[in-house]
């Protein structure tokens, strides 16, 4: 799901756009909405002031646009906390946040995964390099005593 803005204070996403690829016989659907809110208990999104655009799979042409005032999608499980992370610079993310975001982006097939994976593995390398230096210092200390 793509959004232009998500407010953690109101719990709403604004300018929402989601493409849903169904089975080949069903076609593809794009859902556009002025705003959407996530219900964590039901793990669903409710879109408001939106439209559904159905596309023919073979031709890619619009089959039918349909407007709606309110519509709930129980099959949409995107976590709004992850949406807030995607907008942030990888250098500002913690180790755990990078891992969570990488898992999400890989499952979504996003090309953005590379920059977050670089940050994640650089944090691992930084940690290991410190341990290696400590190990070398301890070894040289004991070999000097012998």
> What is the three-state SS of 59-111?
CCCEEEEEEEEEEEECCCCCCHHHHHHHCCCHHHCCHHHHHHHHHHHHHHCCC
Domain end marker among 78, 109, 124: 78
Q: Could you give the dihedral angle defined by the CA atoms of residues 100, 36, 19 and 59, in that order, rounded to the nearest 10 degrees?
A: -170
Are both 13 and 38 inside the same structural domain? yes
| Number of domains comprising the chain | 2
**Mean pLDDT of residues grouped by 10 in the chain (146 residues)?**
73 84 67 90 91 82 88 83 78 88 79 87 86 83 69
Q: Whole-model pTM?
A: 0.62
How many CA atoms does the CB half-sphere of 140 hold within 13 Å? 6
Structural domain range at position 94: 88-146
pLDDT score recorded for residue 8: 81
Measure Cα distances from 30 to 17, 56, 86, 92, 127 in Å: 7, 12, 21, 32, 44
Are both 9 and 73 inside the same structural domain? yes
- Classify burial at 45, counting beta carbons within 10 Å of its beta carbon; exposed 0-12, middle 13-18, buried 19 or more: buried
In whole angstroms, give the CA distance from residue 38 to residue 45. Answer: 5
105 φ/ψ angles, rounded to the nearest 5 degrees: -65, -35
In a domain, 59, yes or no: yes
pLDDT score recorded for residue 1: 61
pLDDT in tens, 23-35: 555 567 889 999 9
Helix H or strand E encompassing 139: helix 113-145
In a domain, 25, yes or no: yes
In a domain, 83, yes or no: no
In a domain, 26, yes or no: yes
Are both 64 and 122 inside the same structural domain? no
Are both 11 and 71 inside the same structural domain? yes
Strand pairing class (28-39; 44-55): antiparallel
Domain end marker among 45, 78, 111: 78
pLDDT score recorded for residue 106: 82
In a domain, 108, yes or no: yes
Are both 65 and 31 inside the same structural domain? yes
Are both 12 and 70 inside the same structural domain? yes
Domain end marker among 78, 103, 119: 78
In a domain, 135, yes or no: yes
């Amino acid at each position: 799901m793509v959004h232009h803005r998500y407010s953690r204070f109101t719990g709403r996403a604004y300018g929402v756009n989601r493409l849903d690829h169904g089975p080949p016989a069903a076609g593809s659907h794009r859902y556009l909405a002025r705003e959407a809110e996530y219900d964590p208990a039901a793990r669903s999104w409710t879109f408001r002031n939106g439209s559904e655009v159905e596309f023919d799979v073979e031709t890619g042409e619009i089959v039918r646009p349909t407007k709606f005032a309110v519509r709930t999608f129980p099959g949409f499980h995107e976590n709004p906390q992850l949406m807030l992370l995607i907008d942030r610079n990888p250098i500002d993310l913690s180790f755990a946040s990078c891992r969570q975001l990488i898992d999400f982006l890989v499952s979504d097939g996003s090309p953005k995964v590379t920059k977050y994976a670089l940050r994640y593995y650089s944090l691992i390398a930084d940690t290991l390099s410190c341990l290696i230096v400590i190990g070398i210092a301890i070894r040289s200390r004991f070999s000097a005593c012998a």
